[in-house]
Amino acid sequence: MRERTDFLFASRTCHSIRMRVKRLSKVISIFLNLKLRTKFLLSFTVMILLTVLMISSVNYYVSVSVIKQNTAIFSEYLIEQIGINLEKRTKDIEEQVFQQFRNSALNTTLGIPESSSEPDLYIKNRAISEFMKDLLFSKDDYLSVMVIDAEGNQFGFERTATQNYNKNLMNVDVEMIKDKRGRASWIPGNSNVIFMEKAVYDVASSRYVGIIIVGVDSSLISGIYTNVDELTKGNIVILNEVFEALLFDRHVSEPSRYFIENKMYDHKPSLNQGFQFEGQTYISTIITTPYDKWMIVQVIAVNELTRGTEVIKVWTISTILVSLFIAFILAVIISRNITGNVRLLLQSMTHFSMDFTHKAIVPRSRDEVGLLAEKFNSMAEKIGELIHTIYTEKLLKQKAEYRTLQFEYKALQAQIDPHFLYNTLESIHSLAKLRGDEQVSEMIYLLGKLLRESISKKGDIIYLQEEVDYIRSYLTIHKIIYGNRIEVNYYFDTGLMSFVVPKFILQPLVENSIKHGIEEKPGKGIVSIGCWTKEGVLYLEVSDNGVGIDEETKKQLLNPPEHSKLKQKDKHTNVGVISVHKRIQILYGEEYGLSIMSEMDQGTTIRIRLPIITEEGSG
């Protein structure tokens, strides 16, 4: 069930994301399809708005941060002064009470035990009563006095009996006061009183004799910081050494009460973070006096600090509105100026696309759009010229195609002659065979075969096997003609016969070997033909033991002069070798072709370098 719920939640989430992306894409599409002028207006408005908002926001937050920082520094300085004054006032009271006790008869009589005689107890009670009256009326700020003897008996006296200040002291923690060994403590009371409590000891024997508690008017303490609260619009709280707030009910605001009750003074919230109370942010400043006797906390509402920044907000909004209005007016003027040339260019393009007639645009300015209009003028003129040229070329092409058809027709007619010649040779072959002339018959058969292969092969690329078969037939005819004067050797790798090569690349080379190598040299001529592969290259080779080729002829064969400048007697065979070299380089690149190794009277070797291609048209 839980997995199904998770799946449904994930599905809804994905659907929600897709819908948001779709809506965003729709908004982007609408913006992209707006007119250029509208885009300029929106873009200028958004840029000005964002710029002003960013500057105003940064200024506002920087101002608030500076106010916070300065307030924190000022607040810390003020409460440090408050701490100094508090220490002085409370210490004066503590010393005055101690001196009063030391100089009174109570110093010697408070330690009289309860079991003493009546006269001694009378003296003790009288000394206590006189001490309390003298102490209470020694300062107007004292509202009550309580004395507790060593046996826990309490004696109290108040300036105004109706207030009953001492009723809050019924459960005094005597042991805690004794543990402080004469160090005074301050605790909060009800209404407008706070209490100073102090254990006292016999001056002569240093023996514990009792406790003196003085109720002090709270205004003596609150008067130190009342004016500071009004000045900083904050709330100052004084905590004693056990973190009790003096005058808690009367002088502590709700945020300060929340701060103290949750003991947030332990981790001291940072200035930038502050703490939250009822939806508002407050910052705090905390210091402690020496020996941790007092902790002074000031809590200030941030909205009180930033009350003066409302003026900044008003001016910010006013500035934004004025800036937007001015920006809109400027955007209208600028966009009209920019889009004016664009409209002219668009109108001219529309008109040109309909009938390819162009009227030159006169741009209103020399900005990028104006330059674009000028370029369009130039482009339109060139397009017009190009259209005229294409039309003219089309007419010439039609005429050329007509002439080509005529040539093809004549070429078709010319094919009749080779077929007729082939058929005639077949007839002669049959007749020679009937008459028993086998040699003539064989020559006519081979010649017919060569002629048939020449006619039947339409493409320029054939299998190596076909080229080898053709050259075998060609050399067989020559062996019949020359008899024992010529010897032919073959060393072909039968595994290479499926490679494809350009048509008729061996015949010109073999013809060159026979005509210029063997015929011009007495004795038996040897022609060797072979093929092999090495490092991804196919090599074909034709070699002879003829008269050889001189350096000048080799250069002419590989880097030929114009056809008309070749020597007349060997023009046919030279053109054949040159044609093979050029065809190979045109088909496969300059790294392929012929290489010639020859020495005079030692023979010639012509090597063909080809790429390995296993199927016709693919490598």
> Could you read off the pLDDT of 469-500 as tens digits, one per residue?
888 888 888 787 777 888 889 998 888 889 99
pLDDT at site 452:
66
Q: How many residues does the chain have?
A: 619
pLDDT at site 587:
84
**H/E segment holding residue 46:** helix 36-103
> Could you read off the pLDDT of 329-378 as tens digits, one per residue?
877 777 676 666 667 667 667 766 666 666 666 666 666 666 666 676 77
pLDDT at site 94:
84
Ranges of the chain whose pLDDT falls below 50: 402, 405-406, 408-409, 411-417, 419-420, 562-564, 566, 568-569, 571-572, 617-618
Could you give the CA distance from residue 320 to residue 322 in angstroms, rounded to a whole number? 6
> Could you read off the pLDDT of 100-142 as tens digits, one per residue?
888 888 877 887 887 788 888 888 888 888 888 888 888 888 8
pLDDT at site 499:
92
Question: Is pTM, for the whole model, over 0.75?
Answer: no
Owner of token pair 């038996």: 524
Q: Are 541 and 530 in contact (CB under 8 A)?
A: yes
Could you give the CA distance from residue 4 to residue 348 in angstroms, rounded to a whole number? 63
pLDDT at site 572:
47
pLDDT at site 530:
93
Who's near 591: CB < 8 A, 6+ residues apart? 609
> Could you read off the pLDDT of 268-323 as tens digits, one per residue?
666 556 788 887 888 778 888 777 778 888 788 777 766 666 676 777 777 777 87
Could you give the CA distance from residue 156 to residue 212 in angstroms, rounded to a whole number? 10
Could you give the CA distance from residue 349 to residue 193 in angstroms, rounded to a whole number? 95
Within 13 Å and on the Cβ side, how many CA atoms surround 490? 12
| Token couple for 359 | 């009227």
Burial of 321 (0-12, 13-18, 19+ CB in 10 A): exposed
Q: 437 to each of 133, 223, 429, 433, 446, how far by Cα in Å?
A: 172, 152, 9, 6, 14
pLDDT at site 523:
81
